[in-house]
Amino acid sequence: MKVAVVGATGLVGTKMLQVLAERNFPVTELLPVASERSVGKEIEFKGKKFKVLSMTDAIAAKPAVALFSAGGSTSLEWAPKFAEAGITVIDNSSAWRMDTTKPLIVPEVNADVLTAADKIIANPNCSTIQMVVALQPLHQKYKINRVVVSTYQSVTGTGVKAVDQLKGERNNSVKGEDAEYPMAYKYPIDLNVIPQIDVFLDNGYTKEEMKMVNETKKIMRDDSIRVTATTVRIPVMGGHSESVNVEFENDFDLTEVKNLLSQSPGVVVVDDPANAQYPMPMDAHEKDEVFVGRLRRDETQPNTLNMWIVSDNLRKGAATNAVQIAEYLVANNKL
């Protein structure tokens, strides 16, 4: 199977190549695609070298599927051209997520909506993906009324420039140097917390916060779920963490909640407070699962659960989710 990876030299694109190899996706020919300045350069995949192609050359090669991670404007321009050529696009940008004609997919939650006719498939926001994987089995059992989520998001969600900023600040503080480094953020990120991810909107929320609100409803196919979010950037590189407060229509049994989550695909429960066992980004790093812990009742109101959700944002929050969508399409003859 010919597979194109658009944005192959970026942080998520590189991770997509890694995940394709690790999961033994049936790639017979890899078509790495990047910006014009990268065309002709070589990337390595499964021990072989592949030349980076232009968009036009990639379309002409007619891959079965193209994994896009090249930003919203690139996707808006090029995804339809790939789709017109009969290529199934799985897009990691925000460009198509809230388009009512495009499916927004987390395989553990709503892959069943996919058809062979879907040629542009949206990969959700990283913080939304890990949350809905954990919420879906609970929604099916108890029906969710309202979700209050606060995120603690890794700098890797911003990209290489943010990683370089954090490393630069850390090195300067440790070594007492004053070396130059890029500024991905308006403020220092080391020894700091920035309560802004993406731009502010007219309602006072950031774009990232409203993505979580709107995408959750679409993925879980329930507009009645009320979601409110505060998204925060922290000086971590292993993954995103979320404090989630969930109010249900029906009451729940805590042991049953743990059992439900333990049996859910893609979820690992790490919940042993007596032995200080709970999910942390350093433990989720380079793993594909969503880790859930700190499960406890909210004692201030009925039918309400507190939970802590952690996942590697470059893997399940981006690359792995995209590859899992492609795996579903292959397994169900929908490419």
HSE of 278, CA atoms in CB hemisphere, 13 A: 13
User: 206 Cβ partners below 8 Å, 6+ apart?
Assistant: 196, 197, 198, 199, 200, 231
Is residue 71 within 8 A of residue 7, CB to CB? The reply is yes
Alpha-carbon dihedral 26, 30, 32, 33, rounded to 10 degrees: -90
User: 216 Cβ partners below 8 Å, 6+ apart?
Assistant: 128, 131, 132, 135, 147, 225, 227
Written as one string, the DSSP assignment of 185-254 is SSS--TT--B---S-B-TTS-BHHHHHHHHHHHHHTT-TT-EEEEEEEE-S-SS-EEEEEEEEESS---H
Active site residue 126: yes
Active site residue 240: yes
- Chain center to CA of 164: 21
In the set 240, 285, 315, 316, the catalytic residue is 240
In the set 126, 131, 227, 284, the catalytic residue is 126
Q: What amino acid positions are annotated as catalytic residues?
A: 126, 240
